[in-house]
Amino acid sequence: MQTVILVWCLRALCRLVCSERHTFITLYTEINGQTVAGFPDISAVTTLDGQQIDYYDSEIKKLIPKQDWMKEFASEDRFKEYTEFRERVQQTNKINIRFIMERFNQSHGVHVYQRMYGCDWDDETGESRGFDQHGYDGQDFIFLDMKEFRYVTPVLQGIITMQKWNNDREQLELLKQYYEYECVEWLKYFLTSRKAGLERRAAVVSLLQWSSSSPVVCHATGFYPSAVTITWLKNGEDHDEDMDLGELLPNEDGTFQKTSILNVPQDDWKKHQYVCVVEHETGTIRKILREDEIKSNNSELLIVRYIVKFFFFVVFAHLVPWARYDMKE
């Protein structure tokens, strides 16, 4: 019924292009019993369509905007309302970890509590869905069934918590109000703020190659909005063979990047004219495949930077294997 967060993240990224389904997610982590100096016991990261928009931890003790348009939001009156809600959730989460440790008969040691909550919204159909999942020491502990609006647990130790939370009808009504209305309104508000802050940005297109025997990568980055098409021409004709289209990935500044890899020998693209065509609503960019257009690892670090960004994106997804979300339509 559920899929691991890595699969969920990849599907969410696909939906940025495929169906315009937007996501607004907060991942809260609390580590009990850790004694590493300077390492926060509590941290929280919020993302919009897979892009980090704010950050909090117990060392800095305040909400930090991570996008320029979020910094503008921090000066608005609604920022106080937003931070107060986040603080209430944090206080609830701090209580949760103590109760969960009791359920597992644990009074000391290093233990990790995580909660992933938020909503998604389709701007074409208007359909929205909420989700609220709790994990403990890397395993599912309890989650809120949004259809029945009751808590469900997959483990024996979660039964008492499930019964207690399901009996709190007032709290369930507040959560229902939040996930069906307030969360979606925040999502829409941030989408509007992001659009106003980013407007339209054209792609920067580069041809990259690790070595002379490696495939050539057509890399488009820095564009907004996310819809983009990357194709290849061979001698002026469409060429859809020997190519691999990469996933759409978010950049730290709210823009996007995407790649298309051409798998042809160097002798072939020297004899024929290959052109990478990047189509975006800001315009069309064509890059002719020539040696003087290629940025290799000897002259640029762009390839390394791209690989490192993708690596950390995947690692982050694997760090939270407990977090699951039902993606069935």
Residue 320: which pLDDT band, with cuts at 50, 70 and 90? very low
Query: Above pLDDT 70, what percent of the chain?
Result: 84
Rounded CA separation 3/325 (Å): 6
The pLDDT, as a whole number, for residue 5 is 45
CB 212 within 8 A of CB 223: no
The pLDDT, as a whole number, for residue 76 is 81
The pLDDT, as a whole number, for residue 187 is 96
Residue 213: which pLDDT band, with cuts at 50, 70 and 90? confident
Whether the per-residue pLDDT at 301 is higher than 70: the answer is: no
> How is residue 245 written in tokens?
């289209």
Tens-digit pLDDT profile for residues 173-197: 999 999 999 999 999 999 999 888 8
Superfamily for the 3-198+313-325 domain = MHC class I-like antigen recognition-like (3.30.500.10)
Rounded CA separation 276/293 (Å): 11
The pLDDT, as a whole number, for residue 98 is 84
Angle between helices 159-167 and 169-177 (to 10 degrees): 80
The pLDDT, as a whole number, for residue 297 is 58
Rounded CA separation 152/314 (Å): 29
- Among the listed residues 248, 220, 245, the one whose alpha carbon sits nearest the alpha carbon of residue 310: 248
In the chain, residues under CATH classification 3.30.500.10 are 3-198+313-325
Whether the per-residue pLDDT at 298 is higher than 80: the answer is: no
pTM: 0.68
For the segment 107-112, the average pLDDT, to the nearest whole number, is: 86
CB 30 within 8 A of CB 41: yes
In the chain, residues under CATH classification 2.60.40.10 are 204-298
Domain formed by 204-298, architecture: Sandwich (2.60)
Task: Report how far apart, in Å, the C-alpha atoms of 223 and of each of 101, 156, 257, 269 are.
Answer: 46, 48, 7, 27
The pLDDT, as a whole number, for residue 79 is 85
